[in-house]
Amino acid sequence: MPIRYFNSYSRQLEDFVPLEEGRVRLYTCGPTVYNFAHIGNFRAYIFEDLLQRHLEFRSFKVHRVMNLTDVDDKTIRGCRAAGIPLAVFTKPFKEAFFEDLKTLRIKPADQYPEATAADHIARMISMISTLEEKGHAYRADDGSVYFRIRSFPAYGRLAHIVLDELQAGVRVRSDEYEKENVGDFALWKAWDEADGDVGWESPWGRGRPGWHIECSAMATGILGPQLDIHCGGEDNIFPHHEAEIAQSECVTGLRFSKYWMHCKHLQVEGTKMAKSAGNFFTLRDLMDKGWSGREVRLALLSVKYREPLNFTMDGLAAARSALARLDEWSARLTETAGSAPPEPVSFPEMDAFGSALDDDLNISAALAAVFELIRETNRLLDGGNLAPGQAKSLADWLTGVHSVLALEPEAASLPAEVQALLGLRAQARASKDWKASDSIRDQIATLGWMVKDTKDGQKAIRL
RNA sequence: GGCGGGGUAGCCAAGUGGUAAGGCAGAGCUCUGCAAAAGCUCUAUGCGUCGGUUCGAUUCCGACCCUCGCCUCCA
């Protein structure tokens, strides 16, 4: 069965066929580094991570680029308020972002271009010049350069917006009278006092790039004029991605991206996430509450990207329990397998996992396949009906699954102190000294490990 | 107002024109010195409401209700 993804552009499921066989050029819109990213941002990044890992699972070579927007209204406002240079203001947020990605086990992109890098600014200026030459851009009275949306007939096709129906919304500044059309967007913003010392010289004077041109310049600059897949959150569809298409295609004359994939927003406890509602979380907020990156990852991963996700504390707790079940199974397989060589096993769920993902990243169905297999093979293990070699094969399969899900347990080595106490406890138990046994168990618990007595002896698990 | 998602068991959530995956929670059982953990088993005559099409609809069509998102720099 071919891989199918839902293309936002056609609004249909389409077979995935990259421009170049076996290779995928993937561009994903990254964060604006004026603050710590919140879990809504991370839902998008985890979806993109799943996409990349799934493609790699299916043997594609993925070249992924994620941009960092480190100059815009908010970053400028932030650095001005703090009275520090822009780069100094954004640096800690960039660092925090990369830490968070690591915590959530999001595979690093191949490149993280920054909007303020000199070569990217140069490319943006060059693209804007080309647009101006071709009549797609014009300079307004305020010195800014705008994209003329009337010059690109396909404008609105991605978002399915009809130009004539575009009305001035509440967020359109009514004083932007210098634009030809209310929908024209800034390619280059002329410097004004609020920008402080943020600005670059250009053919249009000092100023800074518009948001949309950043992505067009960095995407085409690094990946070439045509991308296979461009991703982002659903809110990016309009105007951001619509603008990117217009700018890029007017410069290159080629279709910008073959596929567009957008993930839905999440809600928190059933309502829109908002600071004012008190249900706004950064990853750090959740870590402070004692949740692990792996738990947050599963909670954000477990719902299909095209469905709204209801993020709840119950959901995190459910993720924690589900992971415990998964870990237990994994440990059981490893133990049963011993050093046996793999032996063929065949369960329909093993293929179902990948097939579910092939079907537009149906993660819920993929996880269901994993858990069905867990129950089925646990039954066999309970009855002693799973050969070591078969367990080995299943463990190998699970390794492949984790190359996509990245939910394997943290490697935790047993501290020598706990190891020693376990030895003492084993002796106490051999002589049926239950009091000593229980007391040592409590002692081990204070070190953060839980002792389980199984038919095969003691086992310590990280609390 | 325009465009587009959702509404499936206590919670989260797949899915299909032929009679409901999976996870969590709950109950029972097994194992066990006790405990904990774990494992197994069970749990929706029902899929927002009302109509229609059909031998048969949760799945298709229509209307309505609720909810969420976008409508010019928010993932």
Please report, to the nearest 10 degrees, the dihedral formed by the alpha carbons of residues A30, A194, A210, A306 taken in order: 40
A237 & A298 share domain? no
Output the pLDDT for position A177: 53
In this complex, the nucleotide whose C1' atom is nearest to the CA atom of residue A155 is B72
Looking up residue A119, the CATH number of its domain turns out to be 3.40.50.620
A314 & A218 share domain? no
Round to whole Å and give the CA distance between A296 and A293. Answer: 5
- Residues A389-412 have pLDDT tens digits of 999 999 999 999 999 999 999 877
A187 & A292 share domain? no
A296 & A153 share domain? no
Round to whole Å and give the CA distance between A326 and A340. Answer: 22
Indicate whether A422 belongs to any domain: yes
CA→C1' distance for A256 and B60 (Å): 37
CA→C1' distance for A11 and B51 (Å): 30
Indicate whether A257 belongs to any domain: yes
A249 & A326 share domain? no
Indicate whether A411 belongs to any domain: no
Output the pLDDT for position A414: 80
A275 & A259 share domain? no
Between the CA of residue A195 and those of A75, A87, A212, A277, A337, what are the distances in Å? 10, 14, 18, 31, 64
A337 & A258 share domain? no
ipTM: 0.93
The bridge status of strand A12-15 relative to strand A23-28 is: unpaired
In this complex, the nucleotide whose C1' atom is nearest to the CA atom of residue A364 is B14
In this complex, the nucleotide whose C1' atom is nearest to the CA atom of residue A308 is B6
Residue nearest to nucleotide B15 (CA to C1'): A365
CB within 8 A of A331, min separation 6: which ones?
Answer: none
Output the pLDDT for position A448: 80
Indicate whether A410 belongs to any domain: no
Nearest-CA neighbor of A305 among A354, A242, A360? A360
Instruction: Give the DSSP H/E element, type plus range, for residue A309.
Output: strand A309-311
Domain boundary among A238, A263, A288: A263
A188: Cα within 13 Å, side-chain hemisphere: 31
Indicate whether A64 belongs to any domain: yes
Q: In what order do the strands lie in the sheet with A137-139?
A: A137-139, A145-147, A185-190, A207-209
CA→C1' distance for A377 and B41 (Å): 15
A84 & A191 share domain? yes
In this complex, the nucleotide whose C1' atom is nearest to the CA atom of residue A425 is B33
A431 & A355 share domain? no
Number of domains in chain A: 3
In this complex, the nucleotide whose C1' atom is nearest to the CA atom of residue A159 is B3
Indicate whether A98 belongs to any domain: yes
Output the pLDDT for position A124: 96
Domain boundary among A234, A263, A292: A263
CA→C1' distance for A352 and B21 (Å): 12
A140 phi and psi angles, rounded to 5 deg: -100, 175
Indicate whether A370 belongs to any domain: yes
Strand, coil or helix: A170: coil
Burial A277-289 (b: 16+ CB within 10 A, else e): eebebbbeebeee
Looking up residue A363, the CATH number of its domain turns out to be 1.10.730
A453 & A358 share domain? no
In this complex, the nucleotide whose C1' atom is nearest to the CA atom of residue A186 is B73
Indicate whether A104 belongs to any domain: yes
Burial A90-120 (b: 16+ CB within 10 A, else e): beebbebbeebbebbbbbebeebbbbbeeeb
Positions of chain A with pLDDT under 70: 163-177, 456
Output the pLDDT for position A170: 38
Residue nearest to nucleotide B33 (CA to C1'): A434
Task: Compute CA A253 distance to the chain's CA centroid, rounded to the nearest angstrom.
Answer: 30
Residue nearest to nucleotide B25 (CA to C1'): A318
The bridge status of strand A185-190 relative to strand A4-7 is: unpaired
CA→C1' distance for A367 and B45 (Å): 28
Contact call for residues A279 and A273 (beta carbons, < 8 A)? yes
The bridge status of strand A266-268 relative to strand A309-311 is: parallel
Domain boundary among A405, A436, A452: A405
CA→C1' distance for A264 and B22 (Å): 22
Round to whole Å and give the CA distance between A409 and A411. Answer: 6
Bases of strand B lying below 7 A from some protein CB: 1-6, 11-15, 21-25, 31-41, 67-75
Instruction: Give the DSSP H/E element, type plus range, for residue A461.
Output: strand A457-462
Output the pLDDT for position A164: 63
Range of the domain at A429: 416-462
- Residues A35-46 have pLDDT tens digits of 999 999 999 999
A235 & A199 share domain? yes
Residue nearest to nucleotide B37 (CA to C1'): A452
A422 & A399 share domain? no
